[in-house]
């Protein structure tokens, strides 16, 4: 087992590293957390993967109907949201860096910024959902498609749209909850160069949720714009 | 490992501190993060669910005593569906991983606990929530979709409590994911010094492979059940043919999890058998590397064979050919295991203790279950036998004849370690025999029934099938007795059983070097491993 070389006399106490009883070294604990998080993210990939597979199949079957839906998607709002999320990923990464450098003020700042970006995303998404309801584009509850020949097949796209963006939004809300937890912990001076695993792990989660959106945006908004 | 301390007989001495008596009270159990206590919590919960699922089986076997059936078709449909759901998701999937492996993996690799003890406890709570949701569906009247929840029946037409049951299964899935994730990280990061991958007990290897399947497969089940639930709520969705949706897509996504899931339900059992066969033959498992890698091969192949569930439900011939070929491939690692267990016994000092009796049962019944799987992997044969009792018999030979046998064998093997008590040798051998007889009496007739063309999932059947059905129902009652007897003598042993030493079987492996039952952190100091697994020496040296 590889052990991190720590200069004699400067070894952090078990309290500082938050070393739990069943790990031998802080390095082992960090390794376990990292592998655990990546494994969890793989399960997330497969979770979203089911919907991406369904999307790919129906897009192949009903290309014209799918392309016709792009008219009703708000590319400006979707594009803005993409930019907002990319910014939030940057602030998240800077937050992890701040934690690693034991810079508490910066960590708090970047966590707050990330949460603001996340909230902006959700608010914009809310406006988009509202617009869909007004335009009768919610399958099952309120659906009337202006292009009659695609009425049936377009519902599949909108059903997938709500499932995929809905699941993504749910992950964003969970992410905001996790970030609030980090902010409280940061205020309590829990994190430092010797202990920043939760910041890094939740950061990984946040980046994952962003990447999902990076795929969702072109797949759902830009189908008809591909010529 | 050969230099074990001889257990000095302690007469009337106070019991040493162990994980069971270190703390008392319900709080010490419900808020524990000790993997051994969580394993016990799981053991109690899954046993409860096993008897719930078993009770439903008793009811529908009673129905099948008469050709015209005793219950209504609707009742019958709900009984077999709930039997399947409870047994698959709430017993078989967590059976060995969440109990025996949860208890043993940290000890076997010389760790103090799993990598994420609190997540381990969380997984149990999630399991309980899932079980309560499903029991709610049962109490309200049950589900009649079969355990497979096929759309569009489940999404549109069924009048039963599909949503509650689907959410129950969805929830339980996350407990399975967390267990698998914990095992993967634990095996990678928590091994004691000297415990290299090639020294891991095969039980650890097989549960590691199981963990991979749990982590990669279960999320797909989660999303497909969620899409199904949305479709049921919205009355429209991607499996709805009215808007151009394809119900077959549901089957693809469902079996992408559920075929690998049948290996979740057998791989851990194979791990148990490797341990038992080696111990009671007093030999290293023949071809250790092959057995270890066959677990990994099964895990990998499990993800590319799901199409064999759909040979007759709308799949192209070429897809069918590919899936048929890949399904045959699974036979290779499975056969490696069976041959290697047999070779382990060859010229070994075989003894016939209860765990070994279950291992014999496993090897024989799994072989039958596996070989009949090849009949079903053959396209032409499958057309005739698909949807008949032949399939029912096939997977019960693997799931019940295989996994439940292995589970019971494992419980009998590690019971002294888990509880510090021995059970009655005579009663346990008797029960093992009853289980074996009852099992074959129940399920062998179903092979014949299926071959004669009796379809599964019907509450009534032509009168000429009655004799075999009565035989099967009679067998089920024998099997039921075989499951109740161990319940009685194992519970009895908790109070009255003779105390077990650290190593009653003289087995190799780190778990036998610590006291029975182990202390909370398993070892007084982290062991240093210097030799490979299953290093068996002469018998008299090691029994403690």
Q: Is the pLDDT of residue A137 over 50?
A: yes
User: What number is the ipTM of this complex?
Assistant: 0.92
A138: tokens are: 């919610």
Q: What is the DSSP letter of B243?
A: G
CATH, residue A71: 1.20.120.80
Facing B236 at nearest CB: one of A22, A155, A163: A155
**Domain contains A183:** yes
**Domain contains B333:** yes
Q: Mean pLDDT over residues A37-61, rounded?
A: 97
In this prediction, residue A225 has a pLDDT band, given cuts at 50, 70 and 90, of confident
B253/A43 touch (CB, cutoff 8 Å), yes or no: no
Residues of A in contact with B114 (CB under 8 A): 22
Query: What residues make up the domain containing B498?
Result: 26-541
Q: Is the pLDDT of residue A209 over 60?
A: yes
**Domain contains B12:** no
**Domain contains B8:** no
Q: Are A74 and A128 in contact, with CB atoms under 8 Å apart?
A: yes
Separation in Å, CA of A105 to nearest CA in chain B: 30
pLDDT of residue B536: 86
B190/A156 touch (CB, cutoff 8 Å), yes or no: no
Facing A54 at nearest CB: one of B119, B216, B249: B249
A22/B185 touch (CB, cutoff 8 Å), yes or no: no
pLDDT of residue B191: 96
Q: Is the pLDDT of residue B290 over 80?
A: yes
pLDDT of residue A15: 77
Separation in Å, CA of B167 to nearest CA in chain A: 15
| Omega within 30 of 0 (cis) for the link into B285 | no
pLDDT of residue A226: 63
Q: Is the pLDDT of residue B221 over 70?
A: yes
Find the range with the poorest average confidence among A4-18, A58-72, B269-283: A4-18
What integer best gives the mean pLDDT of chain B? 94
pLDDT of residue B45: 97
Facing B235 at nearest CB: one of A48, A50, A140: A140
* Exposure string over B355-381, b if 16+ CB within 10 A, otherwise e: bbbbbbbbbbbbbbbbebbbbbbbbee
Q: Mean pLDDT over residues A21-30, rounded?
A: 92
pLDDT of residue B10: 45
Separation in Å, CA of A137 to nearest CA in chain B: 13
**Domain contains B19:** no
Task: Give B505-515 pLDDT, tens digit per residue.
Answer: 999 999 999 99
**Domain contains B135:** yes
Residues of B in contact with A143 (CB under 8 A): 236
**Domain contains A25:** no
A140/B115 touch (CB, cutoff 8 Å), yes or no: no
Q: Are A136 and A215 in contact, with CB atoms under 8 Å apart?
A: no
Which has more confidence, A2 or A148? A148
In this prediction, residue A21 has a pLDDT band, given cuts at 50, 70 and 90, of confident
Residues of A in contact with B119 (CB under 8 A): 36
Angstrom distance (rounded) from CA B240 to CA B373: 32
Q: Mean pLDDT over residues B152-181, rounded?
A: 95
**Domain contains A5:** no
Task: Give B454-473 pLDDT, tens digit per residue.
Answer: 999 999 999 999 999 999 99
Q: Mean pLDDT over residues A141-162, rounded?
A: 95
Q: Mean pLDDT over residues A120-144, rounded?
A: 96
**Domain contains A52:** yes
pLDDT of residue A114: 98
Q: Is the pLDDT of residue A86 over 70?
A: yes
Q: Mean pLDDT over residues A180-202, rounded?
A: 95
Angstrom distance (rounded) from CA B88 to CA B219: 16
A152/B242 touch (CB, cutoff 8 Å), yes or no: yes
CATH, residue B114: 1.20.210.10
Number of separate domains in chain B: 1
Q: Is the pLDDT of residue B314 over 90?
A: no
Q: Mean pLDDT over residues B415-436, rounded?
A: 97
A36/B116 touch (CB, cutoff 8 Å), yes or no: yes
What DSSP letter does each residue of A191-227 carry, written as one string? Answer: -BTTB-HHHHHHHHHHHHHHHHHHHHHHHHHSGGG--
**Domain contains B1:** no
Query: How many beta-carbon pairs under 8 angstroms link A with B?
Result: 113
Query: What residues make up the domain containing A121?
Result: 47-225
Q: Mean pLDDT over residues B253-274, rounded?
A: 96
**Domain contains B5:** no
In this prediction, residue A8 has a pLDDT band, given cuts at 50, 70 and 90, of low
Residues of B in contact with A57 (CB under 8 A): 246, 249
**Domain contains A10:** no
pLDDT of residue B18: 93
Number of separate domains in chain A: 1
Q: Is the pLDDT of residue B14 over 90?
A: no
**Domain contains A80:** yes
pLDDT of residue A12: 75
pLDDT of residue A161: 97
Facing A152 at nearest CB: one of B220, B223, B243: B243
A212: tokens are: 């999902």
How far the first Cα of chain B sits from its last, in Å, is 13
In this prediction, residue B542 has a pLDDT band, given cuts at 50, 70 and 90, of low
pLDDT of residue B2: 39
Q: Mean pLDDT over residues B90-119, rounded?
A: 97
B224/A153 touch (CB, cutoff 8 Å), yes or no: no
What integer best gives the mean pLDDT of chain A? 93
Separation in Å, CA of A141 to nearest CA in chain B: 7
Residues of A in contact with B105 (CB under 8 A): none
B181/A36 touch (CB, cutoff 8 Å), yes or no: yes
């Amino acid at each position: 087992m590889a052990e991190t070389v720590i200069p004699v006399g400067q070894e952090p106490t078990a309290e500082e590293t938050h070393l739990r009883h069943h790990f031998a070294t802080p390095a082992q604990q960090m390794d376990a957390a990292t592998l655990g998080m990546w494994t969890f993210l793989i399960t997330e990939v497969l979770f979203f993967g089911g919907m991406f597979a369904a999307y790919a199949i129906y897009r192949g079957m009903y290309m014209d109907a799918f392309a016709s839906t792009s008219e009703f998607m708000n590319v400006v709002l979707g594009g803005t949201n993409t930019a907002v999320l990319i910014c939030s990923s940057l602030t998240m990464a800077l937050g992890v860096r701040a934690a690693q450098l034991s810079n508490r003020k910066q960590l708090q700042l970047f966590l707050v910024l990330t949460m603001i970006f996340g909230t902006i995303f959700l608010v914009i998404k809310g406006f988009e959902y509202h617009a869909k309801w007004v335009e009768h584009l919610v399958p099952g509850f309120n659906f009337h498609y202006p292009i009659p020949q695609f009425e049936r097949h377009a519902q599949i796209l909108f059903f997938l749209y709500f499932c995929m963006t809905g699941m993504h939004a749910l992950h964003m809300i969970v992410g905001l909850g996790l970030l609030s937890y980090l902010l409280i912990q940061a205020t309590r001076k829990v994190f430092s160069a010797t202990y920043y695993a939760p910041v890094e792990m939740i950061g990984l989660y946040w980046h994952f949720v962003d990447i999902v959106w990076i795929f969702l945006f072109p797949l759902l908004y830009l189908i008809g714009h591909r010529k | 490992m050969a230099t074990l301390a001889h257990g000095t007989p302690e007469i009337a001495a106070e019991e040493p501190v162990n994980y069971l008596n270190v703390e008392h009270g319900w709080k010490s159990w419900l808020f524990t993060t000790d993997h051994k206590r969580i394993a016990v919590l799981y053991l109690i919960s899954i046993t409860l669910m096993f008897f719930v699922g078993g009770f439903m089986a008793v009811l529908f076997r009673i129905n099948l005593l008469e050709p015209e059936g005793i219950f209504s078709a609707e009742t019958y449909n709900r009984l077999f569906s709930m039997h399947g759901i409870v047994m698959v998701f709430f017993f078989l999937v967590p059976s060995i991983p969440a109990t025996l492996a949860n208890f043993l993996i940290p000890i076997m690799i010389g760790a103090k606990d799993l990598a994420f003890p609190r997540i381990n406890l969380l997984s149990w709570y999630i399991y309980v929530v899932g079980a309560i949701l499903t029991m709610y569906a049962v109490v309200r009247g049950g589900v009649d979709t079969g355990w497979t929840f096929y759309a569009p029946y489940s999404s549109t037409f069924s009048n039963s409590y599909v949503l509650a049951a689907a959410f129950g299964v969805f929830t339980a899935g996350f407990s399975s994911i967390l267990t698998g994730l914990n095992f993967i990280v634990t095996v990678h990061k928590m091994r004691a010094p000297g415990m290299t991958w090639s020294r891991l007990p095969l039980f650890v290897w097989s549960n590691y492979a199981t963990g991979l399947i749990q982590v990669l497969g279960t999320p797909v089940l989660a999303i497909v059940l969620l899409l199904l639930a949305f479709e049921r709520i919205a009355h429209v969705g991607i499996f709805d043919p009215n808007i151009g949706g394809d119900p077959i897509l549901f089957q693809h996504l469902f079996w992408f999890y559920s075929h690998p899931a049948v290996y979740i339900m057998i791989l851990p059992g194979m791990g148990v058998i490797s341990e038992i066969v080696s111990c009671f033959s007093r030999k290293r498992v023949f071809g250790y590397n092959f057995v270890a890698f066959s677990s990994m091969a099964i895990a990998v192949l499990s993800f590319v064979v799901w199409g064999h569930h759909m040979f007759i439900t709308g799949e192209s011939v070429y897809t069918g050919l590919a899936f048929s070929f890949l399904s045959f491939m699974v036979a290779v690692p499975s056969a490696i295991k069976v041959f290697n267990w047999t070779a382990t016994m060859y010229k070994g000092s075989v003894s016939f203790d209860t765990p070994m009796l279950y291992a014999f049962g496993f090897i024989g019944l799994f072989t039958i279950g596996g070989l009949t799987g090849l009949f079903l992997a053959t396209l032409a044969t499958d057309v005739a036998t698909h949807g008949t009792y032949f399939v029912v018999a096939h997977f019960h030979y693997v799931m019940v004849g295989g996994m439940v046998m292995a589970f019971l064998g494992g419980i009998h093997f590690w019971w002294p370690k888990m509880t510090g008590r021995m059970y009655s040798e005579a009663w346990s051998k008797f029960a093992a025999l009853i289980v074996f007889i009852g099992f074959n009496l129940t399920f062998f007739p179903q092979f014949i029934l299926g071959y004669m063309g009796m379809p599964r999932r019907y509450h009534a059947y032509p009168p000429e099938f009655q004799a075999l059905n009565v035989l099967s129902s009679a067998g089920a009652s024998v099997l039921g007795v075989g499951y109740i007897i161990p319940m009685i003598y194992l519970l009895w042993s908790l109070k009255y059983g003779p105390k077990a030493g650290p190593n009653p079987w003289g087995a190799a492996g780190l778990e036998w070097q610590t006291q029975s039952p182990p202390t909370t952190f398993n070892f007084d100091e982290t062991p240093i491993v210097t030799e490979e697994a299953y290093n068996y020496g002469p018998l008299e040296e090691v029994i403690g």
